Amino acid sequence: MNPAFAIEYLTCRFISPQQAVNRLGDLDEAVALLKIYHRFFPQEFAASKRRVISRADDLYATLVDCLELASKHLFEIPDYCFDGWQNEDLPLSYIPIEPILGEWWNDDIEELMPLWQVLLILIGAWEPGDMENELFRTAANVQQQWQDKVIDCDRLTRLCRRASVPLCWLNLALLTLDHNTGNPWLDASYECPITGVEWTTRNVRCLRKNWLEAQQACKQIAQLDEWLNKDAARIHSLLALWSQALTARPRSYAQPQ
């Protein structure tokens, strides 16, 4: 063998102990995902389990297959996770939990759905510029009258149980706007991401259940928004329910006159 070639051959194969530990760590995480593949998609896994791994790309191709199946059948894996897969950039360490509804505070509020705008007015987080819109004008007027009151979420939840569809989902909409539902897909944000959820069977099952619940919640919120948007007069029903859940603003939080 040519000495220069021999040196190059050996140099390519030399790795430091820390590099070896890191590479084994990557493989350990990859195997955790392969177990999910085996557990949740046994037929597809059976077809690929004999796939020979002769290069790193062979393993990554199998992992991409698994992630695509997970994204299709379990919960959405964001597209950006696949962009760099050839660069060994797959989400192997933790399950990526992408906020379903994004972050309303980073969007143009006037572009948000009317229900969101009405709720933001009612909680005093936004003052509409467009007072021509009956929904917003009505909401802004009553909010002025309720300056000394705040919403009691527990009371609203109890009242919503007795309300008719789709108004019964008003508390769900408020909690979703507040990222406080207890569902990671609805509560996560880019500012406060939910990280560290490993690829285990238990976590995947749990997130799948949460995903279905989050999808259902989004449908219910969309239904309430549609109902409100169809007839501006319906805001009075919403405000009637809202007003029953108001409570006196704690003195320490009273706004200066």
Residues that bind other proteins (CB under 8 A): 13, 15, 17-18, 20-21, 23-25, 27-28, 30-31, 34-35, 38, 45, 48-55, 59, 62
Residue reference for tokens 């991409």: 64
Distance of CA 1 to the CA centre of its chain: 57
- Rounded Cα distance between 239 and 246, Å, is 10
By C-beta, is 19 or 244 nearer to other proteins? 19
By C-beta, is 31 or 192 nearer to other proteins? 31
Are the CB atoms for 109 and 120 separated by under 8 Å?
yes
By C-beta, is 64 or 123 nearer to other proteins? 64
- Rounded Cα distance between 254 and 250, Å, is 6
CB of 60 to other proteins, least distance (A): 12
Sign of torsion over alpha carbons 79, 82, 87, 91:
positive
CB of 98 to other proteins, least distance (A): 27
Distance of CA 107 to the CA centre of its chain: 16
CB of 4 to other proteins, least distance (A): 21
- Residue 150's SS3 state is strand
CB of 13 to other proteins, least distance (A): 7
Give the helix/strand (H/E) hosting 247. strand 246-248
CB of 120 to other proteins, least distance (A): 49
- In DSSP notation, 102-124 reads --GGGS-GGGS-HHHHHHHHHTT
